[in-house]
Amino acid sequence: MTVHHLNQLLLVCSLVLLVAVAAVRISSRSGLPSLLVYLGIGVAMGQDGIGAIHFDNAELTQVIGYAALVVILAEGGLGTKWREVEPGLPAASSLALVGVTVSVGVTATAAHYLIDLEWRQALIIGAVVSSTDAAAVFSVLRRVPLPARVTGILEAESGFNDAPVVILVVAFSTAGPVEHWYVLLGEIALELAIGAAVGLAVGFVGAYGLRHVALPASGLYPIAVMAIAVAAYAAGALAHGSGFLAVYLASMVLGNAKLPHWPATRGFADGLGWLAQIGMFVLLGLLVTPHEMGDDIVPALVIGLALTMVARPLSVVVALLPFRMRWQEQALMSWAGLRGAVPIILATIPMVNGVEDSRRIFNIVFVLVVVYTLIQGPTLPWLARKLRLGKSASEAADLGIESAPLERLRGHLLSVAIPDGSKMHGVEINELRLPAGSAVTLVVRAKESFVPLPTTVLRRGDELLVVATDPVRDAAERRLRAVGQGGKLASWLGTDGGGPER
């Protein structure tokens, strides 16, 4: 490749990225998951579009898709709040295992009897579309004010269910009959256990290292966090476990570990997540050949209807039976089983393995994902309102707190942003009751900074600088969050670990 060709390629890539970034605004205002916009860009650039680019390398698409999925799962795990996910972990695990099993069986049966697919092809489609997509779920749910428990279960499910589905798709796409189903279930359980162990171990070790080793530049922290997350995937895969589960759990541990310079790290991960989504969806759009899909539209709609109206609701009911969840919550989770790029990426596995009618499987999955995402994504907020599952308007917004280590001084500088919904509005400095060894040293208000008095009243939009010594750093942050959630009367004992009031 000459320098001239390289410059042309860079120009095209930059233009595509600019168009894709501008399209984010369209998707956010319309409520559509961004995957539809990016897929459309890829299709427009493809051989049936204005770009007329011929691309049919399914193997390369699968490799790049896996890499992008690692980044997306890492970004999702970093943004997952443990206190919201923890109560729903058993339910999410049940949805990822029992729910996937039910969904595969029902969808495969419908594909076999309704559109006359062979059992192998039917099982592949059933497995491929039974995985909810992390990128679609994260992007839609974080704009919909749902109860924390519902959001936590759905986000954890989307992070967990990729692993068993990948194992099933690979097994069904392997040449020869699938024998000894109980061996397959044992393999799934073993890979999940190994992936979970590796992910948690890498996450805790990485978080400990980042909190106790001061890096020479703040810009290195985001890179280190993402490197640890990717290392968790590689270690899990090399240990013959689920790399996808490993990267999600490791990222979740890192995201809840109160690491230094966290907002910068979160922004960096968010940007990488967007870049991964854009690249992955555009590439999947390039792989599609629209003029070949005419005969697969009706089968895709039939299978999607069976999946959306029968398989997903039944899997939710069966998987959540032991947890006694309200029918409104189960109805919403049934409709919120969003598909996205993950099923399309998984549909490339039978293509790479040379499974008969694999191109038809890919086309069916592509049409199904586009059509039903177009229906489910925008209607999810409406359904939440009808089921009266919107988050309470009185629920306080959480504080944004950034911590920078002061290594030589054995302390920390906390930067606290007070959002509009915080109950810290109207609280005096002395009413914060911070533990001894911590103090508010500066307040930034309306682009002006001043040293506060004990009687200074805090307002929404203020930014505070709080200095805390090592022993009370965590207690000071817990107290700040408690006041942000409960106001000046927030309980001191039990909120900050029982620190003394002063």
Q: What pLDDT is attached to residue 188? A: 79
Higher-confidence residue of 143 and 271: namely: 271
Q: Over 50: is that where the pLDDT of 123 sits?
A: yes
Q: Over 50: is that where the pLDDT of 306 sits?
A: yes
Sign of CA dihedral 493, 494, 495, 500: positive
Q: What pLDDT is attached to residue 470? A: 81
Q: What pLDDT is attached to residue 50? A: 75
- Inter-CA distances, 193 with 242, 269, 311, Å: 8, 26, 26
The mean pLDDT value for 67-86 works out to 83
Q: What pLDDT is attached to residue 500? A: 38
The mean pLDDT value for 307-318 works out to 92
Return d(Cα 213, Cα 435) in angstroms, integer.
25
The mean pLDDT value for 320-334 works out to 88
Q: Over 80: is that where the pLDDT of 177 sits?
A: no
Q: What pLDDT is attached to residue 238? A: 92
pLDDT tens per residue, range 38-73: 777 778 777 777 767 777 788 888 888 888 889 888
- Inter-CA distances, 384 with 48, 374, 377, 379, Å: 38, 17, 12, 9
pLDDT band at 26 (very low <50, low <70, confident <90, very high): low
Structure tokens at 368: 């199904």
pLDDT band at 156 (very low <50, low <70, confident <90, very high): confident
Q: Which residues face 277 on adjacent strands?
A: none
Return d(Cα 484, Cα 495) in angstroms, integer.
12
Residue 347's SS3 state is coil
Q: Over 60: is that where the pLDDT of 315 sits?
A: yes
Give the up-direction half-sphere exposure of residue 240: CA atoms within 13 A in the CB hemisphere. 4
Q: What pLDDT is attached to residue 228? A: 94
Return d(Cα 482, Cα 54) in angstroms, integer.
57
The stretches of 31-176 forming alpha helices (DSSP H) are: 34-45, 58-78, 82-85, 89-94, 100-114, 119-128, 134-141, 148-160, 162-173
pLDDT band at 323 (very low <50, low <70, confident <90, very high): confident
Nearest to 109, CA basis, from 246, 303, 299:
303
Q: What pLDDT is attached to residue 192? A: 86
The mean pLDDT value for 111-124 works out to 89
pLDDT band at 273 (very low <50, low <70, confident <90, very high): confident
* Burial call 313-324: b when 16+ CB within 10 Å, e when fewer: bbbbbbbbeeee
Q: Over 70: is that where the pLDDT of 130 sits?
A: yes
Nearest to 338, CA basis, from 362, 300, 304, 385:
304
What mean pLDDT value characterizes the chain?
81
pLDDT tens per residue, range 334-375: 888 888 778 888 888 888 888 888 888 988 988 998 888 888
pLDDT tens per residue, range 185-238: 777 788 889 999 999 999 999 998 888 877 777 788 899 999 999 999 999 999
Q: Over 60: is that where the pLDDT of 8 sits?
A: no
Question: pTM to 2 decimals?
Answer: 0.73
Q: What pLDDT is attached to residue 409? A: 60
Contact 286, 16 (CB under 8 A): no
The mean pLDDT value for 418-422 works out to 83
